[in-house]
Structure 1
């Protein structure tokens, strides 16, 4: 046992300092393998130590020790991200936050939690108190609050409430990585330097989420013989402010064929729309589906909401997971289409790439604007062909957020990267927080 290892044990106790190789390998991974490009890049990356602090004081002590020894630090929640956000590129210490798992305070319209708590626990407690989270990821049963804020963007609820940065995070508590770490209370615009920044600018220890009144949600599947009709139905439902909804997800056939747990209720050769709508609006949604030559073919009543099978498990990037289980040659992209020409954009892509590109939209709002947001499934052949497809999509006005890069500024965060870099220099002057995830400051990386 070396001196540094001994000091970690003194700070945390032996049971909370992990050096076992198989467990370090396991905890040093997330779902980056959705991308064949990232799979090659990250396969051999592993932390030297995994530590599990119980509170802010222990985190501050870990960071002080790491700075003194010039050792990089990466933060992990549940490891449900898809871009390698938690991968320790330069080894060092991986901080597992899952012992910090308390609900601190629930108020009308907000909930304050520690970063390591599972969002499923938060949602369950809120619904008991007649509230619910505005947005959460499809992985909410396992995903942690801090992991969602640091590495996520939107999810279930985004059709109404937008992304994390659309007022759904009210406050953050953050620890800096300096010789003497500071504890910051972050609000307002400054939160953009921490939301979806992969833990490069500070360690989030507490989050205040916006909440809303509990709604009784019906889950259902609408089926259509025609893809365009399924999309027009989705668009009309999304635009109708009278319909309360938590999710609208449109899947081109054969994507539904990959959903093995739903095979008994999926009709062959049908394009589907998966919805969560308020009970009292369900009949209206049925009427809208019929107006677009479709029908509701499966329903889960609100009495069974979040019990047993959840249709949210077949939306957002869960669709990629089901496709990979069925065909390991699949991967995905992420893109925003243009509302007034998305049908034209789809046609152009399908004409060029045919069954290499399967449409999957998760409709959402961003800053109040309705966005046809895509996580299409891609038949993967080579990296070069993948980036040819990306270039074509962007040439016709589709904004692609590249999920096949480890760099924050290349994955869609370029508009905020200058501010993030400045904040990193303030909070992490030695460049030790999650190094290798911001390319424009690679000269800061040490170790």
Structure 2
């Protein structure tokens, strides 16, 4: 009697061992992401079983072949970029295939005001090439060096540059090539509002293989750390700078003490017991930024000139969720939340939170624009005690009007990112068997 070949071996024989990896080390390594930022996700996912196979395609034809194979054999497929996401986006909950797209790393075209890219190009690589051509990328996460453009579009939202250009949904994706998971995968070229079904989708509604992003003219960026006696002064300065359209900027990140104490590389230049604002602004604006800081009782305590940009440790390496990472290095029990404060009452909300939780919750903000509106967003640090206590803090935040985007879940609708109803409909159309990253969208209409 003939022995039936396993689907894993069948796929490897079909595509070759260079494309399909079955060894335990590779499967284990590429079945994880940075979910350990969350103690809740860490407890649920650290013992999660690895994928049965890792697929490492080099081109779209191989992506389509892998998806068609998975469809025929009813095998789940979880898409992965560099694995720098924090929500378990790239963790296969039902084993199957992890589709690692990092080999698809070609810059297809850098044009006037845009870059067309394969999904696996690293953001740092794009920015370097764009700057050589007199342009630069608009927004990027603090994981800029490692993160891929496809991973950022499919798993991120905003970052450095969002103070000027908003989030991914605010015109920061121009076009995308998407593959469906069907008997014969379709190649879709998507633009306009239809992109909303694929931005921050965790690969649930289709597999992104190519993306076109806008570029802006190259700017010579200066970096600085502004220091203030109080968080209120730091926040008011941040708001005032955010509203100064005449000063080009990429980053305004206020944070209360002792958060700056976690930034060991800046230990000699950060004043103790002071709130700090991490800044990135156009080099010729230095005097105006310094004058504005003085109006709010502060000063620029450390300056990195434009000719040192990307040549030394930068202030953006300590902002967004890298702030959390530096805190965790000093206090391993530290975790974080993602929050939206109200522009017309953020100081009242800050005061209420500090009165309720003191140093259990440490406040770190990022001034951004969302849909054109100025928003004081925050990634508060939380000294983690228990899941119950964490969700008590979340409930209190929401009771005082602070909106929480929960980073301690892998489910898209629980995270509140994007318009999930539309994504759900698109998933049913593009993924009729529900095999793309199952468990990350929970259908509400079944």
Matched residue pairs, number?
A: 442
8 Å contact 1:48–1:93 — kept in the other structure? yes
Q: Which runs of 5 or more residues in structure 2 are unaligned? A: none
Match of 1:219 among 216, 223, 230: 223
Separation in structure 2 between the aligned mates of residue 235 and residue 365 of structure 1, nearest angstrom: 11
Question: Equivalent residue for 2:8?
Answer: 5
Note if 1:402 corresponds to 2:406. Answer: yes
8 Å contact 1:436–1:442 — kept in the other structure? no
Note if 1:351 corresponds to 2:355. Answer: yes
Question: Equivalent residue for 1:233?
Answer: 237
8 Å contact 1:131–1:211 — kept in the other structure? yes
8 Å contact 1:217–1:278 — kept in the other structure? yes
Question: Equivalent residue for 2:285?
Answer: 281
TM-score when normalising by structure 1 = 0.97
Question: Equivalent residue for 2:88?
Answer: 84
8 Å contact 1:29–1:79 — kept in the other structure? yes
Match of 1:390 among 387, 391, 394: 394
Separation in structure 1 between the aligned mates of residue 106 and residue 19 of structure 2, nearest angstrom: 18
What RMSD in Å do the two structures reach over aligned CA positions? 1.2
Deviations 1:357-396, CA, capped at 9 Å, x for gaps: 1110011000110000000100110111111111111111
Per-residue deviation, 1:405: 0.8
Relative to structure 2, which stretch is displaced further, 23-32 or 191-200? Answer: 23-32
Relative to structure 2, which stretch is displaced further, 293-302 or 425-434? Answer: 293-302
Separation in structure 2 between the aligned mates of residue 51 and residue 263 of structure 1, nearest angstrom: 44
Question: Equivalent residue for 1:361?
Answer: 365
Question: Equivalent residue for 1:372?
Answer: 376
Separation in structure 2 between the aligned mates of residue 247 and residue 306 of structure 1, nearest angstrom: 15
Match of 2:116 among 104, 112, 137: 112
Deviations 1:191-231, CA, capped at 9 Å, x for gaps: 00000011000000000001100000000000111111111
Deviations 1:173-203, CA, capped at 9 Å, x for gaps: 0000001100000011110000001100000
Note if 1:124 corresponds to 2:128. Answer: yes
Per-residue deviation, 1:280: 1.0
Separation in structure 1 between the aligned mates of residue 321 and residue 344 of structure 2, nearest angstrom: 25
Question: Equivalent residue for 1:259?
Answer: 263
Partner of 1:164, secondary structure, is coil
Question: Equivalent residue for 2:306?
Answer: 302
Note if 1:97 corresponds to 2:101. Answer: yes
Per-residue deviation, 1:145: 0.6
Pairs within 5 Å for 1:50-61 = 50-61=54-65
Match of 1:30 among 20, 28, 33: 33
Per-residue deviation, 1:308: 2.1
Separation in structure 1 between the aligned mates of residue 115 and residue 10 of structure 2, nearest angstrom: 36
Question: Equivalent residue for 1:17?
Answer: 20
Question: Equivalent residue for 1:334?
Answer: 338
Note if 1:190 corresponds to 2:178. Answer: no
Match of 1:426 among 418, 426, 429: 429
Separation in structure 2 between the aligned mates of residue 135 and residue 164 of structure 1, nearest angstrom: 8
Per-residue deviation, 1:107: 1.0
Separation in structure 2 between the aligned mates of residue 90 and residue 28 of structure 1, nearest angstrom: 11
Separation in structure 2 between the aligned mates of residue 394 and residue 436 of structure 1, nearest angstrom: 26
Poorly superposed stretches of 4+, deviation over 4 Å? none
Per-residue deviation, 1:441: 5.7
Separation in structure 2 between the aligned mates of residue 7 and residue 116 of structure 1, nearest angstrom: 26
Note if 1:290 corresponds to 2:294. Answer: yes
Question: Equivalent residue for 1:75?
Answer: 79
Separation in structure 2 between the aligned mates of residue 180 and residue 274 of structure 1, nearest angstrom: 49
Question: Equivalent residue for 1:172?
Answer: 176
8 Å contact 2:252–2:366 — kept in the other structure? yes
Separation in structure 1 between the aligned mates of residue 19 and residue 63 of structure 2, nearest angstrom: 12
8 Å contact 1:11–1:58 — kept in the other structure? no
Q: Which runs of 5 or more residues in structure 1 are unaligned? A: none
8 Å contact 1:149–1:196 — kept in the other structure? yes
Note if 1:209 corresponds to 2:213. Answer: yes
